[in-house]
A and B are shown apart, each in its own frame.
Chain A
Amino acid sequence: MAASDVVFRVKRYRPESGGRPTFQEYTIPYRSDMVVLDGLNYIKDHIDPTLTFRWSCRMGICGSCGADVNGQPRLTCGTYVRDVHRGAVTVEPLSNFPILKDLVVDFDDFLRKLASVTPYIVRKDWGDLRKEYVQYPEDVEAYRQQSLCINCMLCYAACPVFGSSPEFVGPAASALALRYNRDTRDEGADARLARLNTKAGVWECTFVGECSVVCPKDVDPAAAIQTLKFLATMRHMRRLLMPGSSSR
């Protein structure tokens, strides 16, 4: 092993052989500006073509390449090897998800949860399709942060609550629900809050806060969930105390 080599310890799992996931070690050449994804691609192209992982844009916007690197959920395309090189670089599939093969996990559950929070504009009257709705810059700013979610699932991998209670709606889906609730063009906040005001909704969350720490896009889903708890409670109280009032 040359001085400019690095060892990758990668968790492998073959679905057709079954069994348990095991580690496999690879020694590859090191470049000071390489990211973990570069290492995985080197292994696949030159050493072991059976190594399987997802990736596409390599610039941190498509959300495909999430993995646990040295125990932390990260985007492999945005993690420099020099930052995580502790003797070896350990790469495992994202925690809390069923493993399909090697580093590829099954997150269809998230897509169902996303669909369940009505992630689109809901309106009774769509108005004139030749004129945009007026929305001021500060209105856009109100939901901008939550709209940046790239669906990379790092937050779900980081959340210990999701790990033990898989029915929890989770950070990303909640952040996107808030994104639509805060959009001045939307009228569907009531239905979304009803869906989230349940045990498997936002109330599973015990504010560990790790989701916001690992989010590569600074969406701050933890804050979004606490805000939703407040909004859901307000709505609940309003409905209890003023049953006749209209909801937004």
Chain B
Amino acid sequence: MERTSFDIVVVGGGAAGLRAAIAAAESDPELTIALVSKVYPMRSHTVSAEGGTAAVLRDYDSFELHALDTIKGSDFLADQDAVEFFVARCPEEIIRLEHWGCPWSRDEDGRVSQRAFGGMSVKRTVYAADKVGFHILHTLFQTSMKYDRIHRFDEYFVTSLIVDGGACTGVVAMNLRGGTMVAIQGKATILATGGCGRVYEFTTNGFIKTGDGMALAYRAGVPLKDMEMVQFHPTCLPGTGILITEAARGEGGYLVNKEGERYMQRYLPGKMELGPRDILSRAMVQEMKAGRAFEGPYGLYLGLDLRHLGAKKINERIPMVRELVEKYMGLDPIHELIPVRPGQHYIMGGVSTNGKGETTLPGLYAVGETACVSINGANRLGSNSLSECLVFGAACGIAAAAFAKKKASYPRGAAAREALKKEEARVFDGLLGRERAKETVAGLRVEMQQLMERDVGIFREESALVDACGMLGKMRDRFAAVGLADKDRVFNTELTAVLELDFMLDVALAIAHSARNRRESRGAHSRTDFPQRDDANYLKHTLAFRTDGPPRIDYVPVTVTKWEPVERKY
């Protein structure tokens, strides 16, 4: 009989989830930890991160500077106490990973190399060629195999949280392989399921990034914070949306329009291609609107020029960029321009947590892209996200471990059994029983994605946002008519797609409503009708609470410690 009661349940097997599980395992040899993931951990989307991970490692750098860069990059929406905590712990996480075998790229003297990155004043991005996410994930996954007390539940899809007596006591999950539901109980539960990029049509995100953890917490009454802050990465390949790492610009690449001009000199002459992502993405859209972009089979695009870097640098520092461009565009970046356009990439917003990953629901934690602490505020700097997963993954794992240790007994079995019965009825009898008719999961999903792309994208405006909120509300209702053709319980990916669409509609509503209510422009949130930043009214985080109708929006102030908000100039 498989064990189903643990001290800690981690949902999601990416960098944040694995780091939290390992931290918990190391903090106490008695703790039992469940790692529940809807895919095998090495398939988690951490694997596709390319550029690097930031930390203060050298004398030319300082915590003060890393914090300032991060806070300024966030357009002063980041909570400064959390940022101070964060930057101080990045170096030890990088070193710890290095000790665990991560193949960081090295300088000639054998020390870990660092490269330049967008929005960073100095070279502080540690890298592993241009496969940093792949190497971090595999290092963490393989290191996690050291601990017997991390029990893996691979290909278990979590459908709901178990809430008992005002606390979270575990999850209900569908075993894809067995076709059954199981209640996995935990004294503490950590959500580390990543972001929700798949609510947009054009995204760098993999298929699995559907905001599951965000929706699970949301449905349990936990607010989602700063959901309107969606990051669009400037350099994605047209058509597929595959990411071309910022490191290409960090190593000296140029962005050019169809006239061959390095157009960033008109938008951000101080930083050029190494400005923060929100500014670069907006600049691209403006170049497109001004008619200075190339035209291709997948629409307008700009050019990323690496030709002047030379074959040696490209093959050593950014080899995967070359592989991807050759494979998916049929072009060689050593000799030709790379077509690029902005695409959804990351969401700064997420489950509202404090600096230890705690949510408002006792026993429930969130970490990584799923969470919003917030250290990224209104715009995240590249290479801060992986560091965030490591620092807060560790902090959260330790906090959850301490919480679990304080609890003498395991959660009540009765609550778990009840939750399990409810989910079986909802999913197997309810959802699975619905017949496939006119409303299909793929059709509704594409409509939602296109709507988000059009109305809640890089540039937003009141009437479009109001329209989007209304349409999404209707889609939320239309979901009730979505039926399934696949009636099997074993490995039913049509059923998981329906469950994911269910989650995505909730998350999309939170994004649209949060965006509509923030009547200013800050960081990645750009309102054409309110183009200025408005600290007097909006130096605060948006909170979205789920209701049966549209989300209830509230606000909570930003924590300012040392850095008074000033105009964000580069």
Contact = CB atoms under 8 A, between A and B. Distances in A.
- Bound together: yes
Contacts of A54: 39, 43
A186 B490 contact: no
Nearest to B243: A59
B92 interface: yes
A115 B42 CA distance: 14
A186 to B, nearest CB: 7
A100 interface: yes
Interface string B480-494: 000011101111111
Contacts of A119: 142, 145
B568 to A, nearest CB: 33
A50 B206 contact: no
Contact of B106 (A135, A143, A180): A135
Interface stretch (B94-102, B286-294, B551-559): B94-102
A150 B96 contact: no
B488 A14 contact: yes
A84 to B, nearest CB: 15
A127 B99 CA distance: 9
A129 B134 contact: no
Interface in B90-131: 91-92, 94-96, 98-101, 103-112, 131
B48 to A, nearest CB: 5
Interface residues of B, number: 63
B484 A49 contact: yes
B39 A134 contact: no
Interface in B479-531: 484-486, 488-494
Contacts of B440: 45, 49
A56 B208 contact: yes
Given A49-B440, A59-B242, A59-B324, A133 B206 contact: no
B108 A136 contact: yes
A50 B486 contact: yes
Interface in A106-143: 106, 108, 111, 114-115, 119-121, 126-127, 129-137, 139-140, 143
A179 B111 CA distance: 20
B410 interface: no
Given A48-B485, A58-B207, A78-B327, 6 more contacts: A16-B179, A52-B491, A53-B493, A120-B142, A132-B95, A183-B103
28 contacts: A15-B491, A16-B490, A45-B440, A48-B485, A52-B492, A52-B493, A56-B207, A58-B206, A58-B242, A59-B48, A59-B324, A61-B320, A62-B42, A100-B491, A101-B488, A120-B143, A120-B146, A126-B99, A130-B95, A131-B95, A139-B106, A140-B106, A147-B103, A150-B134, A183-B103, A185-B99, A185-B101, A186-B101
